[in-house]
C-alpha cells in the first residue's frame, strides 16, 4: 500500500452503501443522529465518520478542501483520489477553520453545486440544545451539538438566507453523524 | 441470495454510484429542484425506467426488500422485468407486499397504503420538467426555476378553467414543493398527488433519459397548483372495486365485452388483495 | 386482462425464447457467424460502432447478429456494454492528416496534391440488383492494384487557410467535456456538440443536413474534402509519461467548406463544417459536417431560425438510443393515466351536456 498505512472500508462496495444510506437518512431527516459503519482505523486527523463519508462520496470528480494533516492527505490521495482545492472551489470541505460564507454556495440555476461541509464536533446527541425545523422534520427535531465552532448559528442563518443556494453540512462525532441541509432552520433551546 | 458475479453489486460501478449518490444528497437538500446527473446507458431502454433503476441501484443494499410496481401492479411486464433485474444483479429479496418493502420503485402510482418513515419511494420519471410542455427549451426553463417564475403555468391552468370550467389536467399534475420549486410528480394520476404532501417516507425521482434526479424529503409540503375559487380536485372513477369493494381507491376500468360491459377494480393490486383477505376473514 | 393475470415472468421468458428461435431462422441453413457479419456487412458494423460510440468491430458484429440486423437495437446493445467498461484514460487527438488513405476526394478542385482517390465506393455504380450475388459461391476477381502513392495529401482546408480564405479553428487547450459522464447543458460548446453529433443517428442528421440544403439554414456547402482510411490511436499512460501506439482504426472525415459573408469582427471568408465517424460512414460524416456548420450560426452572428441551427433541438433529439427508448416506451401500459383522462373527458362531456 503506497503512501498510507491506514486502510479504507473492509468491504468497499457494501460498506460504502451502508454509509451512504446513513448519510441519506441524515440528510432526509435533519438533526437525527445516524451511525456510520466503522472503519478499521482512520488516519490521524480524521474522525471515523468523516473518513467514512470521504470514502463514500469523494473521488476524482470532487475537489476537496482538506485541512487534517499530511497523513490524512496521503490517505485521501490513495483511497479517494480527490483533487485538493481551496475552500471556495471545493465540493467537499473538511477544514475546521472554514466559515460557511467562504464556501461555494452554487448558483441560482445550479444550486446543487453548493459545497458540502464535513464538520467535526465533540459530540452529537438527540437531546435539547438546538431546535431544528424544515423539510424532513415533522414538527421539530432536537439536536445537542457539543463543540460547534463559535458563531456557527449566525453563519447558518446567513447561509439559509441564500436559499436555494447554500452549503449543506454534515456534523461528525466519532462514528455518528447528523446533517444540516441548507433548508433547515435552527433555533437555540 | 447472491448476485450475478459478472457484474458489480447492483450493476453500476462504484464511481457511477458515487456520482448518483452525490446527486441524490443534493436533491434531498434542495427539495423539488432537478439535479442533473451523468445518467448511464442501462441494459433496459431509456423511457423504461432507467432513471428509477439507477436511483434504486445507487441506494440498494443487501438487506433491502424491493417492491416494483407499474400502474400500481406488481405483475405488469415491465415491473416483472425490473424486479428480475435487481434479483439478478443485487440478489436482493423482493416482495409484492407494500408493508414488507424497504424500497418501492414505481411507475405511475403511489401505493394506497400509507408509507412509513423506514421506506423509500423511487419514482420512474419520463419527463422531469413540469414546464416542458409550455417551454421546451431547457436553458429557458432552468432560468424560470432559478427565478421561481411560474407565471406561465398559472396562465395555462387559468386557460383550462376558462375553456373547460375546471383544470383539465388529470395526471402529471404539477406541484409546488416546500413553497419554492414547481415539480412534476411524474405521470401519477392527480388522485395520488395528496399522498405526496407530508409523506413520512423519502421520495426520490429518477429521469434517466433526461438525466435528472430530484427528491421530496419526508414531512415536506407538496401542494398541487390551484386557485382559491378552483381548488385542486383529485379525480377517480366514481365506482366501487368489483373485487374488494373499495370506494376510495384509484380504479382501473376493465372492459369485459364489446357492448359496453365493464368492471372497475383497484389499480393497486397488493392493496386490493389485502382488502379481499380482510373481507373473506370477516365473512 | 393482459395485466391482472399472474405469470408475467413466464410470459416474458417464453417471448424471449421465441425471439431466439426467430433470430436463428431456418435451422436447415447454416448459422451466420459474427465473423461473417464483420467481414461482409462491414458498413452495418461501422454504423453500429459510430452510433454505439464504441470502436470494436467484433462486438459490433455480435450486436448486429444478436439484434437480428436491427442496427439501432445493435447500437443500444453496444452502448449498454460500453457503459460498464472501466476507463483508463483518453487517447491523444487523432491525426487525420497522417491518415493511410483508402479514399480521398475533393469537390472543390479538379485535381490537387495527392490526387483524387475513389477507393471502395458505391458512387458511380449503377444501382441494378446484381443477381450474381444471389447465387452462392464465387469470389470477385481481385481489384487491380497500383503502387501506393507516397505523395503527401495536404488538407484542402489548410491550403485555403494559408491564403487567408478559410477561417482557422482556434485551438482549444481546455480538456473537452464528456457527454457520456456529464449531462449536456445548454448552450453546449463545439467539442460537446461534435461528440453528440458523432454518436447521433445517421438518419436524423441526414434529414437535418438535407434541410439546410433546401433553405432551412443553408450555408452553401462544398465538399472540401472527404477522406477515409486508417489512423493511429495514441495514448499516454500517466505512469509512462510518453505516448504509445494502441493500433489503427478506420475513420471517415468530412470537411465542408461553407460561404460566410463576414461579420463585424470577421472578414468574409470560408468557414468549416466538420464531420468524423468511426469506420466507413461517408453519408454520416457529410451530414454531421452540414449540421455542425448550421449549429455554428450563433457564434458566427448568423440568424439561427432553422431547426438545424437550434442546438437544443438538434442535440436533444439526435441520439437514437434515447429516442427509440422513449418512443417505444409508449408500448408500456399507460392505463392508469388513460383512466384519469377517461374520467376527465367524461366530466367535461357531462358539463357540456348539462349546459345545453
Q: Name the residue of chain B whose CA is nearest to A140's CA.
A: B219
pTM (predicted TM-score): 0.92
Residue C55 · residue C246 · CB < 8 Å: no
Instruction: Please check whether residue A20 lies inside any domain of the structure.
Output: yes
My answer on whether omega of the bond before C187 falls inside 30° of 0, hence cis, is yes
B209 touches chain C (CB under 8 A): yes
Please indicate, yes or no, if residue A2 is contained in any of the structural domains. Answer: no
In the predicted model, what is the mean pLDDT of residues A17-24? Answer: 98
By C-alpha distance, the chain C residue nearest B108 is: C336
pLDDT at residue C3, rounded to an integer: 41
Tell me, yes or no, whether B180 and B153 share the same domain: yes
The reply to whether A4 falls in a domain is no
Binned at pLDDT 50, 70 and 90, residue C7 comes out as low
* Residue C17, pLDDT above cutoff 70: yes
Q: How far apart are CA B111 and CA B250, in angstroms?
A: 10
B260 a catalytic residue: no
Q: How far is B232 from chain A (nearest CA, A)?
A: 23
User: Before C101, cis peptide (omega within 30)?
Assistant: no
The number of distinct structural domains making up chain C is 1
ipTM field: 0.97
Strands of the sheet with B35-36, listed across from one edge: B35-36, B212-216, B202-207, B120-124, B103-107, B65-70, B93-94
* Chain pair A-B, CB pairs under 8 angstroms: 109
| Beta strand ranges found along chain C (DSSP E) | 100-105, 221-235, 244-258, 271-278
Q: For A41-55, write each residue's pLDDT tens digit.
A: 899 999 999 999 999
Contact across the interface for C334 and B108, Cβ inside 8 Å: yes
User: Under 8 Å CB-to-CB from B21, ≥6 apart: which residues?
Assistant: A20, A24, A56, A57, B58, B59
* pLDDT score at C314: 97
Q: Which domain holds residue C229?
A: 96-122+152-166+179-305
Task: Give the distance from CA C345 to its chain's centroid.
Answer: 43
Q: In terms of domains, do B188 and B247 share one?
A: no
Nearest residue of A to residue B140 by CA position?
A109
* Mutation choice for B interface testing from C7, C8, C327 by most B CBs within 10 A: C8
Q: Domain of residue B150: give its range.
A: 14-224
Q: Which among C192, C167, C162 has a CA at the least distance from the CA of C177?
A: C192
Alpha carbon distance B55, B208 (integer Å): 9
Give the model's pLDDT for residue C5: 44
Q: Are C253 and C231 in contact, with CB atoms under 8 Å apart?
A: no
First vs last C-alpha separation in chain A: 48
Q: Which three cell numbers stand for residue C99?
A: 491518415
How far apart are alpha carbons B217 and B220 in whole angstroms? Answer: 6
CATH number at residue B220: 3.40.50.11310
B146 touches chain A (CB under 8 A): yes
The verdict on B25 and B66 lying in the same domain is yes
> What angle do helix axes C42-51 and C71-82 make, rounded to 10 degrees?
50
The DSSP string of chain B is ----TTSBTTBS-HHHHHHHHHHHHHHHHSTTPPEE--PPP-SS-TTSSHHHHHHHHHH--TT-EEEEEETTBS-SHHHHHHHHHHHHHH--EE-S-GGG-SEEEEES---SSPP-TT-EEEEE-S---TTTTT---HHHHHHHHHHT--HHHHHHHHHHHHHHSS----BS--EEETTTEEE---S-BGGGHHHHTT-SSEEEEEETTTTEEEEE-SS--EEE--BTTB-------SS--TTT--SSS-EEEEE-SSSS-EEEEES-HHHHHHHHHHHHHH-
Could you tell me the residue range of the domain that residue A73 belongs to? 12-188
What is the distance in angstroms between the CA of the first residue and the CA of the last residue of chain C?
A: 38
Which residue from A minimizes the CA distance to B147?
A108
Nearest-angstrom CA–CA distance, C275 and C298:
19
Q: How far is B189 from chain C (nearest CA, A)?
A: 6
Tell me, yes or no, if B269 comes closer than 8 A to chain C by beta carbon: yes
In this complex, is the C-beta atom of B163 within 8 Å of any C-beta atom belonging to chain C?
no
Alpha-carbon gap: C141 to the closest alpha carbon of chain B (Å): 44
Q: What are phi and psi of B138, to 5 degrees?
A: -65, -40
- Contact C243/C234 with Cβ under 8 angstroms? yes
For residues C5-15, one letter each, b for 16 or more C-beta atoms within 10 angstroms of the residue's C-beta and e for the rest, the string is: eeebeeeeeee
C255 CB-contact burial (10 Å; exposed 0-12 / middle 13-18 / buried 19+): buried
**Nearest residue, CB atoms, C322 vs list B139, B171, B209:** B209
- What is the count of structural domains for chain A? 1
Check C186 against B139: CB less than 8 A apart.
yes
Return the pLDDT at B193. Answer: 97
pLDDT band (50, 70, 90) for residue C191: very high
Distance of residue B260 Cα from the nearest chain A Cα, in angstroms:
48
Residues C60 and C45: beta-carbon distance below 8 Å: yes
How high is the pLDDT of residue B217? Answer: 98
Ranges A149-153, B31-35, B73-77, C151-155: which has the least confidence: C151-155
Cβ pair B46:C325 closer than 8 A = yes
Residue C98 CB partners (closer than 8 Å, separation 6+): C231, C232
B98 and B76 part of one domain: yes
Residue C39 lies in a domain: no
A20, A28, A112: residue with CB nearest B35? A112
Best of A9, A20, A28 to substitute, by most chain B Cβ atoms within 10 angstroms, is A28
Same structural domain, B66 and B139: yes
Classify strands A123-133 and A185-188 as parallel, antiparallel or unpaired. antiparallel
Inter-chain contact A14–B9, Cβ cutoff 8 Å? yes
> Is residue A66 one of the residues assigned to a domain?
yes
Residue C248: C-alpha distances to residues A180, C12, C55, C58, C101 (Å): 53, 42, 11, 15, 12
CB < 8 Å to C326, chain B: 46-47, 126, 209
CA distance A105 to chain B (A): 12
Give the mean pLDDT of C173-194: 91
Residues paired with B227 in a beta bridge: B230
Q: Across the interface, which of A23, A109, A164 has its CB nearest the CB of B30? A: A164
Query: Residue C54 has what pLDDT?
Result: 96
CA distance A129 to A143: 6
CB distance C193 to C318 below 8 Å? no
CA distance C316 to B139: 12
- Count the domains in chain B: 2
Over residues A182-187, the mean pLDDT reads 97
Among the three residues B224, B258, B274, which one is the final residue of a domain in this structure? B224
B272 is catalytic: yes
Contacts of A137 in chain B (CB under 8 A): 219
What are the tens digits of pLDDT across the range C225-266?
Answer: 999 999 999 999 888 889 999 999 999 999 999 987 777 777
Catalytic residue at B266? Answer: yes
Across the interface, whether the CB atoms of C187 and B81 are under 8 A apart is answered no
Separation in Å, CA of C40 to nearest CA in chain B = 28
Does position A3 have pLDDT exceeding 70, yes or no?
Answer: no
The average pLDDT across C86-99 equals 90
Q: How far apart are the first and last CA of chain B?
A: 39
Rounded CA-CA distance A58/A50 in Å is 11
Q: In what order do the strands lie in the sheet with C271-278?
A: C100-105, C221-235, C244-258, C271-278
- CA–CA distance, B30 with B214 (Å, rounded to integer): 8
Write out residues in chain B with pLDDT < 70, as ranges: 1
Q: B91, B244, B245, B260: which one is catalytic? A: B244
Q: What is the mean pLDDT of residues C23-33?
A: 96
Residue C129 within a domain: no
Residue A34 sits in a domain whose CATH number is 3.40.50.11310
Do B188 and B263 lie in one domain? The reply is no
DSSP H or E stretch at residue A114: none
How big is the B-C interface in CB pairs under 8 Å?
A: 149
Query: Does residue B240 lie within any of the structural domains?
Result: yes
In a domain, residue A98? The reply is yes
Amino acid at each position: 500500500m503506497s503512501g498510507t498505512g491506514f486502510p479504507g472500508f473492509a468491504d468497499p462496495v457494501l460498506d460504502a452503501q451502508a454509509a451512504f444510506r446513513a448519510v441519506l437518512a441524515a440528510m432526509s431527516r435533519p438533526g437525527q443522529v445516524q451511525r456510520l459503519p466503522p472503519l478499521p482505523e482512520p488516519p490521524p486527523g480524521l474522525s471515523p465518520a468523516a473518513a467514512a463519508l470521504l470514502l463514500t462520496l469523494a473521488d476524482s470528480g470532487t475537489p476537496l478542501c482538506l485541512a487534517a494533516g499530511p497523513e490524512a492527505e496521503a490517505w485521501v490521495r490513495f483511497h479517494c483520489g480527490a483533487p485538493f482545492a481551496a475552500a471556495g472551489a471545493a465540493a467537499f470541505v473538511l477544514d475546521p477553520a472554514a466559515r460557511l460564507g467562504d464556501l461555494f454556495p452554487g448558483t441560482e440555476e445550479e444550486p446543487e453545486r453548493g459545497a458540502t461541509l464535513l464538520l467535526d464536533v465533540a459530540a452529537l446527541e438527540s437531546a435539547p440544545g438546538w431546535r431544528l425545523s424544515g423539510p424532513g422534520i415533522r414538527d421539530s427535531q432536537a439536536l445537542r451539538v457539543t463543540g460547534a465552532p463559535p458563531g456557527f448559528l449566525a453563519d447558518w442563518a446567513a447561509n439559509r438566507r441564500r436559499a436555494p443556494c447554500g452549503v449543506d453540512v454534515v456534523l461528525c462525532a466519532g462514528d455518528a453523524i447528523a446533517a444540516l441541509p441548507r433548508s433547515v432552520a435552527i433555533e437555540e433551546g | 441470495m447472491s448476485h450475478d458475479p459478472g457484474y458489480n453489486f447492483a450493476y453500476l460501478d462504484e464511481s457511477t454510484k458515487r456520482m448518483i449518490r452525490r446527486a441524490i444528497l443534493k436533491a434531498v437538500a434542495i427539495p423539488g429542484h432537478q439535479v442533473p446527473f451523468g445518467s448511464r446507458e442501462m441494459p433496459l431502454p431509456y423511457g423504461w425506467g432507467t432513471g428509477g433503476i439507477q436511483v434504486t441501484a445507487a441506494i440498494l443494499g443487501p438487506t433491502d426488500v424491493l417492491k416494483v410496481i407499474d400502474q400500481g401492479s406488481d405483475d405488469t411486464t415491465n415491473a416483472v422485468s425490473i424486479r428480475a433485474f435487481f434479483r439478478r444483479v443485487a440478489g436482493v429479496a423482493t416482495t409484492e407486499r407494500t408493508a414488507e418493502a424497504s424500497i418501492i420503485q414505481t411507475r405511475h402510482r403511489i401505493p394506497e397504503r400509507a408509507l412509513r418513515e423506514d421506506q423509500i419511494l423511487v419514482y420512474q420519471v419520463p419527463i422531469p420538467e413540469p414546464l416542458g410542455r409550455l417551454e421546451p427549451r431547457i436553458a429557458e426553463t432552468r432560468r424560470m426555476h432559478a427565478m421561481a417564475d411560474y407565471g406561465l403555468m398559472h396562465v395555462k391552468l387559468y386557460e383550462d378553467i376558462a375553456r373547460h370550467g375546471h383544470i383539465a389536467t388529470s395526471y402529471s399534475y404539477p406541484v409546488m414543493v416546500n413553497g419554492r420549486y414547481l415539480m412534476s410528480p411524474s405521470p401519477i394520476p392527480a388522485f395520488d398527488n395528496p399522498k405526496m404532501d407530508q409523506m413520512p417516507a423519502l421520495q426520490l425521482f429518477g429521469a434517466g433519459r433526461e438525466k435528472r434526479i430530484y427528491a421530496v424529503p419526508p414531512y415536506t409540503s407538496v401542494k398541487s397548483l390551484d386557485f382559491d375559487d378552483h381548488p385542486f380536485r383529485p379525480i377517480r372513477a366514481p365506482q366501487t372495486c368489483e373485487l374488494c369493494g373499495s370506494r376510495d381507491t384509484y380504479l382501473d376500468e376493465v372492459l369485459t365485452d364489446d357492448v359496453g360491459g365493464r368492471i372497475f377494480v383497484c389499480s393497486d393490486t397488493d392493496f386490493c388483495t389485502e382488502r379481499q383477505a380482510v373481507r373473506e376473514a370477516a365473512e | 386482462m393482459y395485466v391482472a393475470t399472474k405469470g408475467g415472468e413466464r410470459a416474458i421468458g417464453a417471448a424471449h425464447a421465441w425471439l431466439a428461435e426467430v433470430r436463428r431462422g431456418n435451422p436447415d441453413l447454416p448459422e451466420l457467424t459474427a465473423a461473417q457479419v464483420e467481414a461482409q456487412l462491414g458498413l452495418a458494423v461501422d454504423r453500429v460502432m459510430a452510433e454505439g460510440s464504441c470502436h470494436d468491430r467484433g462486438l459490433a458484429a455480435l450486436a448486429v447478429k444478436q439484434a437480428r440486423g436491427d442496427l439501432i437495437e445493435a447500437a443500444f446493445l453496444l452502448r449498454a456494454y460500453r457503459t460498464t467498461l472501466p476507463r483508463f484514460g483518453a487517447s491523444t487527438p487523432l491525426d487525420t492528416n497522417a491518415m493511410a488513405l483508402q479514399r480521398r476526394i475533393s469537390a472543390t478542385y479538379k485535381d490537387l496534391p495527392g490526387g483524387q482517390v475513389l477507393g471502395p465506393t458505391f458512387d458511380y455504380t449503377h444501382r441494378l440488383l446484381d443477381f450474381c450475388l444471389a447465387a452462392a459461391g464465387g469470389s470477385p476477381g481481385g481489384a487491380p492494384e497500383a503502387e501506393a502513392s507516397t505523395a503527401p495529401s495536404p488538407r484542402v482546408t489548410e491550403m485555403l487557410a494559408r491564403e487567408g480564405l478559410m477561417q482557422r479553428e482556434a485551438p482549444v487547450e481546455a480538456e473537452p467535456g464528456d457527454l457520456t459522464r456529464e449531462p449536456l447543458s445548454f448552450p453546449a460548446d463545439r467539442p460537446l456538440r461534435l461528440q453528440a453529433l458523432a454518436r447521433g443517428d445517421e438518419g436524423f442528421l441526414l434529414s437535418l443536413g438535407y434541410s439546410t440544403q433546401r433553405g432551412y439554414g443553408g450555408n452553401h456547402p462544398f465538399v472540401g474534402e472527404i477522406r477515409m482510411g486508417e489512423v493511429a490511436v495514441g495514448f499516454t499512460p500517466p505512469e509512462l509519461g510518453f505516448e504509445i501506439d494502441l493500433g489503427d482504426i478506420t475513420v471517415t472525415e468530412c470537411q465542408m467548406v461553407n460561404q460566410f459573408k463576414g461579420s463585424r469582427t470577421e472578414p468574409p471568408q470560408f468557414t468549416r463544417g466538420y464531420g468524423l465517424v468511426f469506420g466507413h460512414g461517408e453519408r454520416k460524416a457529410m451530414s454531421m459536417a452540414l449540421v455542425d456548420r448550421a449549429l455554428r450560426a450563433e457564434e458566427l452572428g448568423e440568424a439561427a431560425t432553422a431547426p438545424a441551427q437550434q442546438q437544443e433541438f438538434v442535440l436533444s433529439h439526435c441520439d437514437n438510443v434515447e429516442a427509440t427508448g422513449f418512443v417505444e416506451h409508449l408500448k408500456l401500459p399507460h392505463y392508469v393515466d388513460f383512466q384519469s383522462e377517461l374520467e376527465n373527458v367524461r366530466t367535461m362531456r357531462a358539463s357540456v351536456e348539462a349546459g345545453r
